[in-house]
Structure 1
Amino acid sequence: MTYAGNRTIIDVDSHVIELDDFLHKAATEADRPLIPDMAAQTELAVQQAGLDRGRELHAKRQTDPEVMKKFEESLMDNKKSGWNRLGAFDPAERSHTLDLFGFKMQFVLPTFSYHQIGHEKDAEVLEAGARTLNRAMGSFCAADERLRAVGYIPLTLGPEIAVQLMQEGFEAGCYTFMVDTNEPDRKKRSFTHPDFDPVWAAFASHNAPFVIHVAVTGDFESIPRSFFNNGYKKVELGGDAPSGALGMVSIANTAQLFLSAMIFDDVFVRHPELKGIAMEFGCVWLPSWLQAMDVGHDVFKIFQPNLQARDYPPSEVAKRHIKVSPFAGEPLGWVIDQVGEDMLVFASDYPHPEGTRDPIGKFEATMTGCSQ
């Protein structure tokens, strides 16, 4: 029996836990000198001991069936280091892991490799890094059609370079791409500006939903740092986990702003086939966000002519075009009652620990009363 049992599940959020040569092995000769070392980034600490142990255990699994059996039996043990979990960095092993899960499809996102290149200020390094990341992700998923590679497009480089990177990324095997929710340079164009229409058109023409992810926010700070000067110890769980209860409250701020701008600035009107997925922002904010957009539309349509052209509320646009992955433990039944049954999608976050030991069980425990 697989973990999914008789359920049909598409897992929209899982990750590779990269080895430190992940990008350098995928880079072209021209790009390789531009790629920073994985340990040079500071957003996610790289522990050499963890890397070494991950390689050691992987080698044992390949030669000792008893070791492999133990890892299969502890598939959902989220206390293990990411590098120590089954299928973390080996594509063939990841396919075996997917067999054990029983999922129909699984989106695969980067972890360390995004932070390795995604915060670069040098445009040449950022472009080379994104191109290499997309090549690496495409290669990781190439042998199994169930695995869908999710790369990264730095829209801050402008629409022309973004479209070029997308074309190269699709050719390299990416299914779709993460984009930043925020342009950190206040003098640059918003990503919803019509100049970026070729980017959104490329997503739509490939039937590929754009992805926004909690780690990819254009350096957006959801909590001003002064709030942590409160006399209490700051909660640091690591990775993409929220900074305590206050972080949980504010985690979706950047997603709400970005998606609202996409709707109010008519991106979905200009690209009616465009879809998007918001990952690891939780979902409890959805009901109030939809209501807030509708109120904002009603109040400001007399000042914004483009809003007057619509005879339907923004919440309907969101429901047609946006999917959201919840956190395990959120009250999914209540959210579904408020927003309908079509906005939420399953996400395991494997092999990140935030996915918990039993995401299916945690989701279904809060869905009593929901239809199949």
Structure 2
Amino acid sequence: MTYAGTRRIIDVDSHLIELENFLLDTASADEKAKIPSMLDQKPVIQKRERLELGREQFLARQGDAALTAEYEAQILDNTKVGWGRLGAFDPVERARAIDLFGYEVQLVLATFTFHQFYHDPDAAVREAGARALNRAMGNFCKDDRRMRAVGYVPLGFGPDKAIEMIEQGLADGCYTFAVDTNEGNDAGRSFTHPDFDPVWAKFVEHRIPVVTHVAINGHYDPVSPSFKNNGRVFHEIGDDAPAGEIGVMTIANSVQLFLGAMIYDGVFERHPALRVISMEHGCLWLPGWLKMIDFTANVFKRLRPFAELPSVTAKRHIKVAPFAGEPVGWVIEQVGPGMLVYASDYPHPEGSGDPIGKFEETMTDCDQATLDAFYFDNMAEVMNLARA
């Protein structure tokens, strides 16, 4: 019996825990000359000894059936070092991990390598890194149709280059792409500007969803640095999670702004088949946000009439992946069964050692149709997958 059991599951958010050569293995000579070392990047710190331990454990498993079976039996143990979890950086092992989980589809994103280039002030470095990342992600997922590589397209380079990078990334094996939730340059165009309509049309043309993910936000920081000067220790969870309690509390701020702008600026109206997935922003914000976008539209109704309530638009175009442990059942009661989608966050520890169990603890009042929608049907509609 797989972890999914009889459930049909599309896992919308999983990750690699990359080795230090992940980008370089598929990078061109020019890209290699530009891209900094994964081990030297600062935004998301990793410990070299943990990487080496994970590599040693992987090599020890090769040809050792008993040890492999032990790791397979412990696949849900999220206390293991990230690199030590089954399939963290090897595509063959990852396929076996999906066998054990029983997921029908798993979207896969990078972890550390994204930060090798994302924060670099040199645009040439950022472009080289994004191109290498898309190629590396496509290469990792190419041999198993269940794995769908999520690359990255830096919209800040402008719509023409974004379109070119989408086409190249698809050719390199990506399924779809994450985008920044806002333009980091205050003088730049909003990504909801009509100039970017050809980019959103490209997503629609290829029938792929736009991905938004925590930390891919144009370096937007909702928390003033002064809050860190608070006379006590400023706690950090680590990895790509925001720093401190108020950082986590405001984790969804950037995506709320982005999605609101997509509605108010008419992007969804102009592209009725466009779909967006929110990953690792949680879901507790969603009920209040839906009320707020309707309230705001009502405030401006004399200046700008809407053909439908913004919340209706949002429910048609947006899917949201909750954190394990959030009151998913309560959120579904507030927003309906069509917006939330399952995400394991494997092999990140935030996904918990039992995401299904944690979700279903709060879904005791959900009927089977609602459970099916959460696990499979909502994303199947986005991905144009048949249920039968």
- The answer as to whether partners of 1:241 and 1:354 remain within 8 angstroms in 2 is no
CA contact (8 A) 2:14 2:343 kept: yes
Aligned partner (choices 320, 328, 335) of residue 332 of structure 1:
328
2:262 is matched with 262
What residue number does 2:318 align with? 322
Asked whether the 8 Å contact 1:142–1:173 carries over to 2, the reply is yes
Please give the residue correspondences for 1:19-30 in structure 2 after superposition, counting only pairs within 5 Å.
19-30=19-30
What secondary structure sits across from 1:168 in the alignment?
A: helix
Query: What is the match of residue 140 of structure 2?
Result: 140
Query: Which residue number in structure 2 is paired with residue 197 of structure 1?
Result: 197
How far apart are the structure 2 equivalents of 1:29 and 1:242? 34
Amino acid at match of 2:260: S
**1:127 alignment counterpart:** 127
CA distances 1:45-98 after superposition (whole Å, capped 9, x unpaired): 132211211111111111211110111111011111111000000001000000
Equivalent-residue separation in structure 2 for 1:334 and 1:352 (angstroms)? 25
Q: CA deviation at 1:197?
A: 0.9
8 Å CA contact 2:215, 2:241 repeated in 1: no
- Aligned-residue CA RMSD (Å): 1.1
Partner of 1:117: 117
**Cα contact 2:283–2:320 (8 A) shared by 1:** yes
The alpha-carbon deviation at position 11 of structure 1 amounts to 0.3
For 1:119 and 1:197, locate their aligned partners in 2 and report how far apart those are by CA, in whole Å: 26
Determine whether 1:300 maps to 2:300: yes
Worse overlay, 40-49 or 284-293: 40-49
**Superposed displacement of residue 242, structure 1:** 4.2
Q: Is 1:224 matched with 2:220?
A: no
1:146-157 aligned at under 5 Å gives the runs: 146-157=146-157
**Counterparts of 1:204 and 1:213, CA distance in 2:** 19
Residues of 1 paired with 2:7 and 2:242: CA distance?
30
Q: For 1:364 and 1:317, how far apart are their aligned partners in 2?
A: 28
Matches within 5 A, 1:333-348: 333-348=329-344
For the 8 Å contact 1:118–1:154, the answer to whether it is kept is no
Structure 2 CA distance, aligned partners of 1:288 and 1:237? Answer: 26
Q: TM-score, normalised by structure 1?
A: 0.97
SS in 1 for 2:175: strand
Give 1:8 shift.
0.5
Counterpart of 1:322, as a letter, is I
Q: Distance in 2 between matches of 1:118 and 1:31?
A: 14
**CA deviation string 1:130-184 (max 9, x = no partner):** 1110000000000000000000011111111111111100000100001011111
Aligned partners of 1:263 and 1:314 also within 8 Å? yes
Q: Distance in 1 between matches of 2:175 and 2:129?
A: 18
State the one-letter code of the partner of 1:234.
Answer: F
Name the SS for the 1:211 alignment partner.
strand
Counterparts of 1:209-248 in structure 2, within 5 Å, are 209-248=209-248
* Deviation readout 1:232-291 (Å, 9 max, x if unpaired): 211111013343432332111111001000110001111111000000010011111001
Answer yes or no: is the 8 Å Cα contact 1:284–1:335 preserved in 2.
yes
Q: Take 2:33 and 2:228, find their aligned partners in 1: how far apart are those partners?
A: 39
**Partner amino acid for 1:140?**
F
- The residue type equivalent to 1:350 in the other structure is Y
Alpha-carbon distance, 1:228 to partner: 2.2
Amino acid at match of 2:318: I
Q: What SS does the aligned partner of 1:63 have?
A: coil
Once the two structures are superposed, the pairs formed by residues 36-55 of structure 1 within 5 Å of their partners are 36-55=36-55
Correspondence for 2:377: none
Give the superposition deviation at 1:14: 0.2
Structure 1 unmatched ranges of 5 or more: none
Partner of 1:288: 288
**How many aligned positions are there?**
368
Per the TM alignment, residue 335 of structure 1 is displaced from its structure 2 partner at its CA by: 0.4
Q: Deviations over 1:99-119 (max 9, x none)?
A: 000001000000011111111
Matches within 5 A, 1:45-194: 45-194=45-194
Would you say the 8 A contact 2:214–2:241 is kept in 1?
no
CA distance in 2, matches of 1:355, 1:65: 27
Could you tell me the percent identity over the aligned residues? 56
* C-alpha distance in 2 between matches for 1:140 and 1:335: 35
CA distance in 2, matches of 1:346, 1:339: 16
Q: Distance in 2 between matches of 1:327 and 1:244?
A: 17
Match of 2:3 in 1: 3
SS of 1:30's equivalent in the other structure is helix
> Which deviates more from structure 2 when the two are superposed, residues 87-96 or residues 221-230?
221-230
Return the alpha-carbon distance in structure 2 between the equivalents of residues 241 and 367 of structure 1.
26
Whether the 8 Å contact between 1:319 and 1:342 is mirrored in structure 2 is yes
Counterpart code for 1:327: F
CA deviation map 1:205-247 (0-9, x unaligned): 1111110001211111121121122222111110133434323
Q: Secondary structure at the match of 2:149?
A: strand
In the aligned structure 1, how far is the partner of 2:355 from the partner of 2:204?
30
Q: Shift in Å at residue 31 of structure 1? A: 2.0
Amino acid of the residue matched to residue 3 of structure 1? Y
